[in-house]
Amino acid sequence: MVRKNECVRYCEKLGVSFVDGDYDHAFWRETVKGLEDEPERGARCRQCFGLRMRATAKVAQKLGIEHFTTTLAGSRWKRQNQIREAANEAASLFPGTAYWDKDWRKGGLQERRKEIIQSEQFYNQLWCGCEFSMGHLLKRPESDLPSYILDMIPTIKAREDRLSAKTEAEKTEGVASAEEKKA
Protein backbone atom coordinates (compact mmCIF):
# COMPACT_ATOMS: atom_id res chain seq x y z
CA MET A 1 0.00 0.00 0.00
CA VAL A 2 2.83 2.40 0.83
CA ARG A 3 4.50 1.78 -2.52
CA LYS A 4 1.19 2.15 -4.35
CA ASN A 5 0.59 5.49 -2.67
CA GLU A 6 4.05 6.61 -3.72
CA CYS A 7 3.24 5.65 -7.29
CA VAL A 8 -0.06 7.55 -7.19
CA ARG A 9 1.70 10.61 -5.78
CA TYR A 10 4.36 10.53 -8.52
CA CYS A 11 1.83 10.02 -11.31
CA GLU A 12 -0.16 12.98 -10.05
CA LYS A 13 2.97 15.09 -10.04
CA LEU A 14 3.82 14.09 -13.61
CA GLY A 15 0.24 14.39 -14.81
CA VAL A 16 0.18 10.75 -15.84
CA SER A 17 -2.96 8.65 -15.35
CA PHE A 18 -2.72 5.94 -12.75
CA VAL A 19 -4.48 2.65 -13.38
CA ASP A 20 -5.03 0.76 -10.17
CA GLY A 21 -4.22 -2.89 -10.67
CA ASP A 22 -4.60 -3.58 -6.99
CA TYR A 23 -3.60 -7.11 -6.32
CA ASP A 24 -5.55 -9.89 -4.73
CA HIS A 25 -3.45 -11.48 -2.03
CA ALA A 26 -5.58 -14.65 -1.80
CA PHE A 27 -5.23 -15.18 -5.57
CA TRP A 28 -1.49 -14.58 -5.35
CA ARG A 29 -1.20 -17.16 -2.54
CA GLU A 30 -3.08 -19.63 -4.73
CA THR A 31 -0.69 -18.90 -7.64
CA VAL A 32 2.44 -19.58 -5.56
CA LYS A 33 0.95 -22.52 -3.64
CA GLY A 34 3.53 -25.22 -2.99
CA LEU A 35 6.39 -22.78 -3.68
CA GLU A 36 6.28 -20.91 -0.37
CA ASP A 37 9.65 -22.31 0.73
CA GLU A 38 11.42 -21.47 -2.52
CA PRO A 39 14.30 -19.01 -2.21
CA GLU A 40 14.02 -15.53 -3.62
CA ARG A 41 14.80 -15.57 -7.39
CA GLY A 42 13.46 -19.13 -7.54
CA ALA A 43 10.29 -20.76 -8.87
CA ARG A 44 7.92 -18.77 -6.62
CA CYS A 45 9.22 -15.50 -8.06
CA ARG A 46 8.72 -16.79 -11.60
CA GLN A 47 5.05 -17.49 -10.84
CA CYS A 48 4.73 -14.12 -9.15
CA PHE A 49 6.14 -12.35 -12.22
CA GLY A 50 3.79 -14.30 -14.46
CA LEU A 51 0.76 -13.15 -12.50
CA ARG A 52 1.86 -9.53 -12.49
CA MET A 53 2.83 -9.46 -16.15
CA ARG A 54 -0.45 -11.06 -17.26
CA ALA A 55 -2.35 -8.40 -15.31
CA THR A 56 -0.23 -5.68 -16.92
CA ALA A 57 -0.59 -7.03 -20.45
CA LYS A 58 -4.33 -7.42 -19.97
CA VAL A 59 -4.74 -3.77 -18.98
CA ALA A 60 -2.39 -2.66 -21.76
CA GLN A 61 -4.53 -4.50 -24.31
CA LYS A 62 -7.74 -3.05 -22.89
CA LEU A 63 -6.35 0.49 -23.08
CA GLY A 64 -4.75 0.02 -26.50
CA ILE A 65 -1.23 0.46 -25.13
CA GLU A 66 1.21 -1.36 -27.36
CA HIS A 67 4.25 -1.64 -25.08
CA PHE A 68 4.48 -2.34 -21.38
CA THR A 69 7.38 -2.64 -19.00
CA THR A 70 7.92 -3.18 -15.28
CA THR A 71 9.87 -1.64 -12.42
CA LEU A 72 10.95 -5.21 -11.63
CA ALA A 73 13.34 -4.97 -14.56
CA GLY A 74 15.29 -2.23 -12.78
CA SER A 75 16.03 -4.33 -9.74
CA ARG A 76 19.39 -5.99 -9.23
CA TRP A 77 17.70 -8.48 -6.89
CA LYS A 78 15.59 -10.00 -9.64
CA ARG A 79 16.46 -12.53 -12.32
CA GLN A 80 16.07 -10.65 -15.58
CA ASN A 81 15.54 -13.82 -17.60
CA GLN A 82 12.58 -14.77 -15.38
CA ILE A 83 11.03 -11.34 -15.87
CA ARG A 84 11.61 -11.42 -19.61
CA GLU A 85 10.12 -14.88 -19.95
CA ALA A 86 7.06 -14.00 -17.86
CA ALA A 87 6.51 -10.71 -19.72
CA ASN A 88 6.88 -12.20 -23.20
CA GLU A 89 4.53 -15.01 -22.25
CA ALA A 90 1.99 -12.45 -21.02
CA ALA A 91 2.32 -10.41 -24.22
CA SER A 92 1.64 -13.52 -26.27
CA LEU A 93 -1.59 -14.07 -24.34
CA PHE A 94 -2.80 -10.53 -25.06
CA PRO A 95 -2.31 -9.82 -28.78
CA GLY A 96 -1.45 -6.25 -29.67
CA THR A 97 0.86 -5.89 -26.67
CA ALA A 98 4.63 -6.32 -26.45
CA TYR A 99 7.13 -6.24 -23.63
CA TRP A 100 9.59 -3.34 -23.75
CA ASP A 101 12.70 -5.36 -22.97
CA LYS A 102 15.05 -2.67 -21.77
CA ASP A 103 17.91 -3.07 -19.33
CA TRP A 104 17.15 -0.29 -16.85
CA ARG A 105 20.33 -1.04 -14.94
CA LYS A 106 22.62 0.18 -17.70
CA GLY A 107 23.41 3.38 -19.58
CA GLY A 108 23.26 5.64 -16.52
CA LEU A 109 19.67 4.64 -15.71
CA GLN A 110 20.59 3.27 -12.25
CA GLU A 111 22.13 6.63 -11.37
CA ARG A 112 19.03 8.41 -12.67
CA ARG A 113 16.89 6.08 -10.58
CA LYS A 114 18.89 6.96 -7.46
CA GLU A 115 18.52 10.67 -8.17
CA ILE A 116 14.75 10.36 -8.50
CA ILE A 117 14.48 8.27 -5.33
CA GLN A 118 16.41 10.93 -3.43
CA SER A 119 14.72 13.97 -4.87
CA GLU A 120 11.23 12.48 -4.42
CA GLN A 121 12.12 10.96 -1.05
CA PHE A 122 10.55 7.69 -2.12
CA TYR A 123 9.93 5.04 0.48
CA ASN A 124 12.62 2.39 0.35
CA GLN A 125 11.27 -1.01 1.22
CA LEU A 126 13.81 -3.36 2.77
CA TRP A 127 12.39 -6.56 1.29
CA CYS A 128 10.83 -7.58 -2.01
CA GLY A 129 7.22 -7.50 -0.97
CA CYS A 130 5.79 -10.86 -0.02
CA GLU A 131 5.75 -12.49 3.39
CA PHE A 132 8.22 -15.12 2.18
CA SER A 133 10.91 -12.62 1.26
CA MET A 134 11.62 -11.15 4.66
CA GLY A 135 14.26 -13.60 5.91
CA HIS A 136 17.24 -11.45 5.00
CA LEU A 137 15.97 -8.71 7.31
CA LEU A 138 17.28 -10.87 10.16
CA LYS A 139 20.82 -10.13 8.97
CA ARG A 140 20.37 -6.41 9.51
CA PRO A 141 21.09 -4.74 12.84
CA GLU A 142 17.83 -4.14 14.70
CA SER A 143 18.66 -0.43 14.82
CA ASP A 144 18.19 -0.37 11.00
CA LEU A 145 14.68 -1.77 11.18
CA PRO A 146 11.43 0.15 11.65
CA SER A 147 9.22 -0.83 14.60
CA TYR A 148 6.58 -2.60 12.46
CA ILE A 149 9.33 -4.95 11.22
CA LEU A 150 10.67 -5.51 14.73
CA ASP A 151 7.18 -6.70 15.73
CA MET A 152 7.34 -9.30 12.95
CA ILE A 153 10.80 -10.62 13.83
CA PRO A 154 9.60 -13.65 15.89
CA THR A 155 7.40 -14.82 12.98
CA ILE A 156 10.16 -14.28 10.42
CA LYS A 157 12.66 -16.07 12.64
CA ALA A 158 10.35 -19.05 13.20
CA ARG A 159 9.96 -19.45 9.45
CA GLU A 160 13.70 -19.20 8.80
CA ASP A 161 14.39 -21.77 11.54
CA ARG A 162 11.83 -24.13 10.00
CA LEU A 163 13.41 -23.71 6.56
CA SER A 164 16.92 -24.38 7.94
CA ALA A 165 15.69 -27.52 9.70
CA LYS A 166 14.00 -28.65 6.47
CA THR A 167 17.18 -28.08 4.42
CA GLU A 168 19.24 -29.93 7.01
CA ALA A 169 16.80 -32.88 6.99
CA GLU A 170 16.87 -33.00 3.18
CA LYS A 171 20.70 -33.04 3.22
CA THR A 172 20.81 -35.86 5.75
CA GLU A 173 18.24 -37.81 3.74
CA GLY A 174 20.32 -37.28 0.56
CA VAL A 175 23.50 -38.55 2.24
CA ALA A 176 21.68 -41.59 3.67
CA SER A 177 20.19 -42.48 0.30
CA ALA A 178 23.60 -42.07 -1.46
CA GLU A 179 25.18 -44.39 1.12
CA GLU A 180 22.36 -46.90 0.67
CA LYS A 181 22.99 -46.95 -3.09
CA LYS A 182 26.73 -47.52 -2.55
CA ALA A 183 26.12 -50.41 -0.13
* Choice from 45, 57, 60, 156 touching ligand SF4 (CB under 6 A): 45
Residue 46 and residue 34 in contact, taking contact as beta carbons nearer than 8 Å: no
Q: Which is nearer to ligand SF4, 4 or 112 (CB)?
A: 4
Beta strand segments in 11-123, E: 67-68, 98-99
Q: Does 130 bind ligand SF4 (CB under 6 A)?
A: yes
Query: What residues pair up with 99 in beta bridges, in sequence order?
Result: 68
Residue 97 and residue 60 in contact, taking contact as beta carbons nearer than 8 Å: yes
Residue 56 and residue 68 in contact, taking contact as beta carbons nearer than 8 Å: yes
Q: Does 54 bind ligand SF4 (CB under 6 A)?
A: no
Q: Does 21 bind ligand SF4 (CB under 6 A)?
A: no
* Choice from 59, 65, 128, 149 touching ligand SF4 (CB under 6 A): 128
* Choice from 21, 96, 107, 129 touching ligand SF4 (CB under 6 A): 129
Beta strand segments in the chain, E: 67-68, 98-99
Least separation in angstroms between CB 49 and ligand SF4: 6
Chain residues in the site for ligand SF4 (CB under 6 A): 40, 44-45, 48, 128-130, 132-133
